[in-house]
A and B are shown apart, each in its own frame.
Chain A
Amino acid sequence: MRRVVITGIGVITPIGSGKDVFWKALLAGTSGVSTITSFDSAKYAAHLGGEVRDFDAGQYVKRQNPDGMGRASQMAIGAAGLALQDSGLDLESIPRRRRGVSMGTTSGEPVFVERYNDIKLASGEDAVPAEVFACYPCHVIPTHIAIEFDLGGPSIMIPTACAAGNYAIGYGYDLIRTGRADVMLCGGADAFSRIPYQGFARLGAIAPERCQPFDKNRKGMVPGEGSGMLLLESLDAALGRGAKIYAEILGYGVSCDAHHMTAAHPQGDGAVRAMKSAIKESGLSTDDIDYISAHGTGTPTNDRIESIAVHALFGERAPLVPMSSIKSMLGHTMGAASAIEAAACALALDSGWIPPTINHDEADPDCGLDIVPNTARLTNPKVVLNNSYAFGGNNAAMCLGRYEA
């Protein structure tokens, strides 16, 4: 089986677009969370969001009409284009059938459901135009990427909600590992939408002022949007073309809580099994893990359960492994989250720095972990673990390693 490396990174996020801007903002502890402007939040019990404010679809979508697709597709094309550019790869040098795309999302293109209902309410359902139906199904996101970059190989959408980015990158890794594809653009995308927002607001899950993962007084998560895309290829191909290698994908694991649609298993059963499988598939032990990118949404329950899971698996070493949540800065970018976090993991391995958990005032004794409070740290990690959990009890964890020649 072939070794698989990350040679291109593209991100569109609430703290900036493009790898360099993003990474600088992340290490500086910049918050991308503020009062939302995507829609009027007056009716909701919450008002915060992590929105992408500087995104111009026309700058990235060239071969298609940007207005003919939803915002998740636009941002995904943006991030994919940036990843491709960053990789320096000439796609034409790879046979069409050997280049593919693997995506994750939580909501796909919910704007078309919103439009359907808005039109139905105003003028009746007969007035709903045909394109609303064609543009909705979530597989149009990778399809739009395939069209934009002329990818003739596998194309897949894995909508496993807030763990989807890891699932999608994992699938791309599998395809290259087994030789079914040579280049995969993989990641996740989600756009701001009133549908999940009103759900989280109704559950009282949205923080009123800021996102404080693992803080004793944390009050909730903050919905966000964005896209993270990675370009994966085989190690041999990357070496052959003298590419910059950010990191190697070592393995991943998925599991299902089969417990509750929204609440994690009280002992973190699925979370533990996903981490365990990822570490095992990577041929490692917990002693090898130098940093954990937490799912860390900032809700009281998620962070407590994730801490329980890390303690259960890492034992006495748990408090010694730095673990931070960049959701403290970006908010929860849903299906894009673990893909953007994977990008952060790759940049951490490449640069030696690990990003902080910002907005930290008081440690939560129920968590008891080193969450890299407020300030980035130089630790030179060799192996990192990227955690993600989702509605439906879908958990995915991935190990990434520094590539050393």
Chain B
Amino acid sequence: MADVTYTSDQIRVEIRRMIANVTEREPDEVPDTAHFMDELGVDSLMAMEVMIAIDKKFKIDIPEEDFNKATNVNESVAMVEEWLAAKAVTVSA
């Protein structure tokens, strides 16, 4: 079975939903550039929770030290795209 592919917008919607979920707010209250820790109150456990939700959803395995580099929604979307692309290469190779 071919892997599901995701557009940037679909990834963005998912990540916003995950951040909204752990920080107990609505997805539209999660701006693309708001800093996870400083502006949205994401602590280390919440960050890990989101990382696991992303791994589960997109069937990728982002190392923790890499994930911690993403500080907002935009950066997270880029990171997920990067890992999805890397996975596609590995799978097709």
Residues of A within 8 A of B5 (CB): none
In the complex, whether A263 has a CB less than 8 A from a CB of chain B is yes
**Contact status A203-B43, CB under 8 Å:** no
Q: Nearest CB to that of A204 among chain B residues?
A: B64
**Contact status B64-A262, CB under 8 Å:** no
* Minimum distance in angstroms from B53 CB to a CB of chain A: 13
In the complex, whether B86 has a CB less than 8 A from a CB of chain A is no
In the complex, whether A241 has a CB less than 8 A from a CB of chain B is no
Residues 185-215 of chain A, each 1 if its beta carbon lies under 8 Å from chain B, else 0: 0000000000000000011100000000000
A263 to B44, alpha carbons, bound, how many Å?
9
* Minimum distance in angstroms from A96 CB to a CB of chain B: 47
A202 to B48, alpha carbons, bound, how many Å?
9
In the complex, whether B45 has a CB less than 8 A from a CB of chain A is yes
* Minimum distance in angstroms from A132 CB to a CB of chain B: 29
Tell me whether chain A's interface is mostly helix, strand or loop, or mixed.
loop
Q: Nearest CB to that of A203 among chain B residues?
A: B48
* Minimum distance in angstroms from B77 CB to a CB of chain A: 24
Residues of B within 8 A of A263 (CB): 43-45
* Minimum distance in angstroms from A207 CB to a CB of chain B: 16
Q: Nearest CB to that of B65 among chain A residues?
A: A204
Q: Nearest CB to that of B45 among chain A residues?
A: A262
A202 to B64, alpha carbons, bound, how many Å?
11
Residues of B within 8 A of A260 (CB): 43
Residues of B within 8 A of A262 (CB): 45
List residues of B (26-46) whose CB comes within 8 Å of A's CBs.
43-45
Q: Nearest CB to that of B48 among chain A residues?
A: A203
A204 to B44, alpha carbons, bound, how many Å?
11
Residues 3-47 of chain B, each 1 if its beta carbon lies under 8 Å from chain A, else 0: 000000000000000000000000000000000000000011100
A84 to B65, alpha carbons, bound, how many Å?
50
Question: Can you add 7 more A-B contacts, CB < 8 Å, to A260-B43, A263-B45?
Answer: A202-B48, A203-B45, A203-B48, A204-B64, A262-B45, A263-B43, A263-B44
Q: Top 7 A-B pairs ranked by shortest CB distance?
A: A204-B64, A262-B45, A203-B48, A260-B43, A263-B44, A263-B43, A202-B48
User: Which residues of B are in contact with A by a Cβ distance under 8 Å?
Assistant: 43-45, 48, 64
Q: Could you show 9 A-B contacts with beta carbons less than 8 Å apart?
A: A202-B48, A203-B45, A203-B48, A204-B64, A260-B43, A262-B45, A263-B43, A263-B44, A263-B45
